[in-house]
Amino acid sequence: MTRTKTLRGAVVVVAATALAACSSSSGGTSTSGGSPTSGGSLVMARADEATSLLPSVPTDNASIWIIEELYDTLTTPAQDGKGVTPSLATSWKQSADKLSWTFHMRTDAKFTNGQPVTSADVVFSIKQNQKADAPFSFIDSVVTKMDTPDAHTVVFHTKEPWAPLPADMALYANSIVPKNYAGMSASAFASSPIGSGPFKFKNWTKGSSLTIVKNAKYWKKGTPRLDSVEFTVVPDSNTRSTQLASGQIGINEYPANSSIKSLQNQPNISVNTFPSSEVDYLGMNTRRKPLSDLNVRKAISQAIDKDAILKAVLYGYGKVANAYLSPTTWAHDSSLKANTYDVAAAKATLAKSSVPHGFSTTITIPSGDQNSSSEAQLVQSDLAKIGINVTIKTLDPAALVTAKHAGNFDMAFGLYTTDIVDPDEIARFAGTYDGGVQTLYSGFKSAQMDKLAATASRASDQSTRKAAYDQMQQIMANNVPYVTLFYVPGVYSYSKKVHGFQPGATGNYFLEKVWMSK
Amino acid sequence: MTTSEAALPSTTLGLEPPTRGRGWAPAWMRRHNLQLWIGGVMLGLMVLAAVAAPLITRYNPTTPDALHTLLGPSGEHLFGTDNLGRDVFTRVVYGTRSDLTIAVVAVVAPFIIGLVFGIVTGYFGGWIDTIMMRIADIVTAFPFFILVISLVFILGNGAWSIFVAITCVSWVAYARLVRGEAMVLRNKEFVAACQAGGISPVRILLRHFAPNVATQALVYSMSDIVMNVGVIVTLSYFGLGIVPPTPDWGSMMADGQQFLAGGYYGLTLFPAAAVIWTSLALSFIGDGLAHALRIDR
Amino acid sequence: MLRWFARRLLLAVPVVLGVVTISFILMHLAPGDPARSALGEKADPAAVAALRHQWGLDKTLPAQYVSYLNQLLHGDLGTSLYYHTSITTLMAQRLPVTLALIVMSAVLASLISIPLASRSASRPNGATSFVIRLFNAVIQGSPTFFVGSMLILFLGVRVAIFPAGGYPSGFGARAWALVLPALTIALSIVPLLVRGLRAAMIESLGSEYVAFARSKGLPESPIRHRYVLRNAGISGVSILGIQVGALASGALVIEQVFAIPGMGSMLMTGILNRDYAVVQACTLMFGLVVVVVYLVTDLVYARLDPRARLS
């Protein structure tokens, strides 16, 4: 999942100022109000607009998180991100030869056009995501063939034993749509989507708002409780804050970190951070000298005062990272010792390298991103202390992506999140050369990492898998192809009238559980 | 207004030197051309501060200081410190170096290009004029910031792309201004006399046209510098201007915005004051120049 | 008159074509890949290549240019690569917002400039005149985004008369939400407008009409209204006309600051995601607006000024 690019400078303005208006009185403790009631319309203000509601098309969170409300998937991520729970599928089992998975589906699920959800719809849907130009086709590339023994059973044949398949099936891009888009063209379907999820698409005014309404025939009886949810597009974080304070909206997605403290003082507003799989890192191009030298990379990682950056830029909302796999996955190794901040040690490490007295290099940051700019300036001054002279370069976000793919940079910040709850996707994406983007553009290549990733995805027993992932995290820590910086949570502020809102580690809103008190 | 030959009006209205028509200042000010002096002193102070920056302040404009972030103005830190703990006064003073230098230097190329372009089109007229003014029209009908933003995208951030971007756009104003003046001059008697005397067009252009016409352009260039400061600052605000950590008023203002809520107005207001001070100084100088060169009456 | 009009239209064609061509070249020269933007960083290179092929981005630049022009000739603005929607649809939602913003700015700019200019023109060398000059210089020196955020701070937050940005629903609320951004843009052209109007007023105050009227013993006030304002109106209209480009550029910046979903924010998203079709359609629209407004300005000018009609 990606966060949409914006020229951040452009949107901070409005009411960095506006907050001043609504931050004075101190609030009492939050009272979670009574038993769930039905009804009510929720308005959620978000910075970015959705780009498409066709499951196999978008990659931006703004689209993904709405798609997850409109459609069902065979499985659904557990709230804590440590596994999957039944959804359209009630049970699933790997075959004895480990080369296929059989999913049994519930029989009472219906699309909002009245059509029952069948195995034929599943096959059609997965095929959409296997198309060459689908962004997440790589997730389903392991599926070689699908069988439908009956209307409510699907068998997936896999290239090799594939433990992550149930988690793959929870991916939004594998949402179940009616076969042949219920007779519509893909673009017609995208503008009036039909799913079997808790909510039904109502309308979308591009540039300002998108509304979904309760699916009264949703198979999970008693849910959803809300009558409707409107997603509005408000790029400026401070405008969102003012709107929340005035009761115009119910939920503000991602209030600015700098504003959280004053938000917490407001009586009718809750601010909460939810564990997210986001990991921020400082990427290095190991194909270039002297970053190709392990001691140089290690020295850099020891010289950066991560705590200071966390405090100055993220206002403490986050945790200094020790391992490349985030704590939201069961594969995270909490015992791993990261290269901790120690200037003397950094100097000593650099002294052992090919450039004992330092060198000159660059950090490229996306233009308009004030956080990256602050981070870069702090890193610049940290590295100066051990004799590394850093020049900051800026590139507009799209050009920076191209430069990273082309290996045309020395150092650059980045972040990664997982799209599925199984550690497989992110362990490969951030840890292997071919599993993503040359190990986060670093060019770091390790046959051992590839082997361990394969071992982990083939093995069906958790302890074998965990051992492999622990080893992978150790290898990354030893080789420092990039500096893992922080685990960053998702932050939401919302009215105290909103209850049961608890986004999952992969970002899913789970709006069917939300209700509003009067 | 010339309406016959142009897709866009070729008038210079709106691009006039600051004081065409009449001066604005009270008579006692105009008598000794005090405007020029006040403007000169204001600008001189800035230049002095920029040159002598290390003598004025003992802080480094770029080194973060984690222990002293977001301090209010005090004897120690005249304008307070920013979110990375740097002295704001120091950054404003050093910002003069980058912003003012680029703004002034960025005037030179458009001035020359516009002068040549305007004289040639104005003097020769006819189809040369028609074609060349279409080119000018295209630039005018192209949204200024899109042009600047995409040029910065192509060339990368930094002073160099700012020069190129500004040059690509702002020569048109000079060209239109100069063309208008040149067309008037062309019909004057002394030009006819020169032509009759067999003097080559190039010599006429250099000897007689350029100096006459350049006066107007010179006065206009003062307000052009103000506009350039505005462009540089706005680009930096969008993150497309001067690269951090080099101090620059625009990025200081942009970075400061998010702290307005916390009451840290200084982070935004002090660099803004520097921008406005520069603008005032240059306006005074422009008025004064116009007065001195006798084009304000 | 008709010939003049036809000729002007004809001359506008190469201008618009030039605008389209330059925006095409600029966007394609800028590094960055719309297919990668659309598919995100995790997508396979193969998926990116497939999408590039589907969008025709693997063709040569001249070939893409020709097919783009061909498409334009058929009145098709294309499809947004990023929003997967026809640009005509997007434009229908965004253009009215920006046009409303520009018109409101022009009105506000006139309302502010006329009193200032006439005050200054009546005593050109007085103290008030000098103060107005200072005001002009200060405003001219203040970057638009700064003026915008200060207006938000004082009129949107401290004294919360206006919304602090955003674009609500409902006609009245929307018009109200546009006031501060329009005022910000208006202020950016006030200095030019005051200067031009003032010069025109001074000129006509010293003109024969006024001298004649004075000699006939007509009171000052009607003189000013009848002749001076009319004369100033002519120059005001042409300045506003010429500044339409500045107004639209201002809208581009200010829509970002105030979170107004107009052409500016659409263009910005377009530029950032290398949504070629969107950027090209926006610059085309921008160029057309400028050319049309200039044409209208000249027509109005010709109506107001008898001398212009003769030529």
Residues A301-343 pLDDT 10s: 999 999 999 988 888 899 999 999 999 999 999 999 877 899 9
Is the domain of C222 the same as that of C291? yes
A396 at interface of B, judged by CB pairs closer than 8 A:
yes
Q: Which residue has the tokens 């850099």?
A: A300
Q: Are the CB atoms for B177 and B12 separated by under 8 Å?
A: yes
Distance from CA of B115 to the nearest CA of A (A): 34
Q: Which residue has the tokens 């003397």?
A: A344
Q: How far is CA A302 from the centre of its chain?
A: 27
Tokens for A325? Answer: 């796999």
Eight-class DSSP state of A511:
G
The answer to whether residue A155 is domain-embedded is no
Choose among B153, B245, B262: nearest Cβ to A399: B153
Tokens for C54? Answer: 């589907």
Q: What is the pLDDT of residues A205-260, one digit of tens each?
A: 877 789 999 999 999 988 899 999 999 888 777 678 777 877 888 999 988 877 77
Q: Are the CB atoms for A376 and A392 separated by under 8 Å?
A: yes
In whole angstroms, what is the distance from residue A458 CA to residue A94 CA?
12
Output the pLDDT for position B118.
87
| Residue A96 φ/ψ, nearest 5 degrees | -65, -35
The reply to whether residue B230 touches residue C124, judged by beta carbons under 8 angstroms, is no
Identify the bridge partners of residue C86 per DSSP, sorted by sequence position: C79
How many Å is the Cα radius of gyration of chain B? 22
Q: What is the pLDDT of residues C187-211, one digit of tens each?
A: 998 988 898 888 888 877 776 666 6
Buried b (16+ CB within 10 A) or exposed e, A121-156: bbbbbbebbbeebbbbbbbbebbeebeeeeebbbeb
Give Cβ neighbours of residue A236 (< 8 Å, ≥ 6 apart). A11, A12, A13, A14, A15, A47, C165, C166, C259
The reply to whether residue B143 touches residue C286, judged by beta carbons under 8 angstroms, is yes
Is the domain of C286 the same as that of C242? yes
Give Cβ neighbours of residue B288 (< 8 Å, ≥ 6 apart). B33, B34, B35, B36, B37, B39, B40
In whole angstroms, what is the distance from residue A476 CA to residue A442 CA?
12
The answer to whether residue C223 is domain-embedded is yes
Angle (CA) A446-A451-A455 rounded to 5° is 150
pLDDT band at A146 (very low <50, low <70, confident <90, very high): very high
Closest CA to A70 of A191, A194, A167, A184: A194
Closest CA to B170 of B153, B150, B151, B148: B148
The reply to whether residue C31 touches residue B237, judged by beta carbons under 8 angstroms, is no
Please, which residues 133-162 of chain B have a Cβ atom closer than 8 Å to chain A? 152-153, 156-157
pLDDT band at A193 (very low <50, low <70, confident <90, very high): very high
Give Cβ neighbours of residue A497 (< 8 Å, ≥ 6 apart). A33, A250, A268, A516, A517, A518
Name residue A79's amino acid: Q
Q: Chains contacting B with at least 3 CB pairs below 8 Å?
A: A, C
Domain count, chain C: 2
Is the domain of C195 the same as that of C54? no
* Fold of domain B41-59+70-296: MetI-like fold (1.10.3720)
Choose among B144, B229, B279: nearest Cβ to C245: B144
The answer to whether residue C150 is domain-embedded is yes
Domain count, chain A: 1
Tell me the average pLDDT across B54-70: 88
The answer to whether residue A320 is domain-embedded is yes
Buried b (16+ CB within 10 A) or exposed e, B181-203: bbbebbeeeebeebeeeeeeeee
The reply to whether residue B9 touches residue C294, judged by beta carbons under 8 angstroms, is yes
Q: What is the pLDDT of residues C223-279, one digit of tens each?
A: 666 677 777 777 777 778 778 877 888 888 888 788 788 888 888 888 888 888 898
Q: Are the CB atoms for A297 and A349 separated by under 8 Å?
A: no
Is the domain of C181 the same as that of C270? yes
Residues in B closer than 8 angstroms to C283, CB to CB, are: 142-143, 146
3-state class of C145 per DSSP?
A: helix
For residue C127, the tally of other CB atoms under 10 A from its CB is: 10
Give Cβ neighbours of residue C29 (< 8 Å, ≥ 6 apart). B150, B154
The reply to whether residue C33 touches residue A402, judged by beta carbons under 8 angstroms, is yes
Angle (CA) A340-A341-A345 rounded to 5° is 90
Check whether C37 has a pLDDT greater than 60.
yes
- pLDDT over 90 percentage in chain B: 23
Q: Are the CB atoms for B114 and B172 separated by under 8 Å?
A: yes
In whole angstroms, what is the distance from residue A106 CA to residue A328 CA?
29
Instruction: Provide the phi-psi class of A183: left if phi over 0, else alpha when psi is between -120 and 50, else beta.
Output: left
The answer to whether residue C190 is domain-embedded is yes
- Side-chain half-sphere CA neighbours of A118 within 13 A: 12
C140 at interface of B, judged by CB pairs closer than 8 A:
yes
Closest CA to A31 of A249, A268, A248: A268
CATH number at residue A432: 3.10.105.10
Distance from CA of C259 to the nearest CA of A (A): 6
A395 at interface of B, judged by CB pairs closer than 8 A:
yes
| Closest residue in chain C to residue A20, using alpha carbons only | C157
Residues in B closer than 8 angstroms to C16, CB to CB, are: 141
The answer to whether residue A255 is domain-embedded is no
Strand spans (E) along C170-252: none
Burial class (CB in 10 A: 0-12, 13-18, 19+), A70: buried
**Summary mean pLDDT of chain A:** 89
Domain boundaries, chain B: 41-59+70-296
Residues of the domain holding A316: 275-489
C164 at interface of B, judged by CB pairs closer than 8 A:
no
Give Cβ neighbours of residue A416 (< 8 Å, ≥ 6 apart). A278, A279, A281, A426, A429, A430, A440
Is the domain of C47 the same as that of C126? no
Tokens for A226? Answer: 């809300």
Output the pLDDT for position A253.
92
The answer to whether residue C87 is domain-embedded is no
Is the domain of C232 the same as that of C288? yes
Is the domain of C65 the same as that of C101? no
* CB contacts < 8 A (B, C): 205
| Closest residue in chain B to residue A241, using alpha carbons only | B261
Output the pLDDT for position A18.
36
Q: Chains contacting C with at least 3 CB pairs below 8 Å?
A: A, B
pLDDT band at B16 (very low <50, low <70, confident <90, very high): very low
Does residue A290 have a cis bond before it (omega within 30 degrees)? yes
In whole angstroms, what is the distance from residue A11 CA to residue A13 CA?
5
Distance from CA of A350 to the nearest CA of B (A): 22
In whole angstroms, what is the distance from residue A495 CA to residue A231 CA?
15
Burial class (CB in 10 A: 0-12, 13-18, 19+), A311: middle
Q: Are the CB atoms for A410 and A363 separated by under 8 Å?
A: yes
The reply to whether residue A402 touches residue C85, judged by beta carbons under 8 angstroms, is no
Tell me the average pLDDT across C104-123: 90
Instruction: Provide the phi-psi class of C121: left if phi over 0, else alpha when psi is between -120 and 50, else beta.
Output: alpha
Q: Are the CB atoms for A20 and C158 separated by under 8 Å?
A: yes
Name residue B170's amino acid: S
Identify the bridge partners of residue A499 per DSSP, sorted by sequence position: A515
- β-strands A153-158, A143-150: how paired? antiparallel
Distance from CA of C272 to the nearest CA of A (A): 6
Check whether B293 has a pLDDT greater than 90.
no
3-state class of C86 per DSSP?
A: strand
Q: How many helical (H) and strand (E) elements, i.e. helices and strands, does chain B have?
A: 12, 0
pLDDT band at C221 (very low <50, low <70, confident <90, very high): low
The answer to whether residue A51 is domain-embedded is no
Q: Are the CB atoms for A73 and A165 separated by under 8 Å?
A: no
Name residue C288's amino acid: L
The answer to whether residue C35 is domain-embedded is yes
Q: How far is CA C19 from the centre of its chain?
A: 16
Give Cβ neighbours of residue B14 (< 8 Å, ≥ 6 apart). C192, C196, C238, C239, C242, C243
C5 at interface of B, judged by CB pairs closer than 8 A:
no
Identify the bridge partners of residue B30 per DSSP, sorted by sequence position: none
User: What ipTM was assigned to the predicted interfaces of this complex?
Assistant: 0.81
B54 at interface of A, judged by CB pairs closer than 8 A:
no
Choose among C36, C94, C149: nearest Cβ to A401: C36
| Residue A315 φ/ψ, nearest 5 degrees | 55, 30
Residues in A closer than 8 angstroms to C145, CB to CB, are: 13
C39 at interface of A, judged by CB pairs closer than 8 A:
yes
B138, B227, B229, B240, best to mutate vs chain C, most C CBs in 10 Å:
B138
Output the pLDDT for position A140.
93
pTM attached to this predicted model: 0.86
C304 at interface of A, judged by CB pairs closer than 8 A:
no
Eight-class DSSP state of A264:
H
Distance from CA of C156 to the nearest CA of A (A): 7
Residues of the domain holding C283: 94-310
Tell me the average pLDDT across A52-68: 93
Residues in A closer than 8 angstroms to B156, CB to CB, are: 393-395
Looking at per-residue pLDDT, the higher value among C274 and A26 belongs to: C274
A312 at interface of B, judged by CB pairs closer than 8 A:
yes
* CB contacts < 8 A (A, C): 164
3-state class of B142 per DSSP?
A: coil
Q: Are the CB atoms for A396 and B153 separated by under 8 Å?
A: yes
pLDDT band at B106 (very low <50, low <70, confident <90, very high): very high
| Residue A272 φ/ψ, nearest 5 degrees | -140, 145
Q: Which residue has the tokens 């559980």?
A: A513
In whole angstroms, what is the distance from residue C139 CA to residue B271 CA?
15
* CB contacts < 8 A (A, B): 97
Q: How far is CA A437 from CA A64, A283, A483, C127, in A?
A: 22, 12, 16, 67
Is the domain of C68 the same as that of C100? no
Output the pLDDT for position B9.
43
The answer to whether residue C290 is domain-embedded is yes
Is the domain of C122 the same as that of C267? yes
Residues in B closer than 8 angstroms to C142, CB to CB, are: 272, 275-276, 279
Instruction: Provide the phi-psi class of A58: left if phi over 0, else alpha when psi is between -120 and 50, else beta.
Output: beta
Choose among A11, A51, A137: nearest Cβ to C259: A11
The reply to whether residue C146 touches residue B268, judged by beta carbons under 8 angstroms, is yes
The reply to whether residue A16 touches residue B238, judged by beta carbons under 8 angstroms, is no
The answer to whether residue C82 is domain-embedded is no
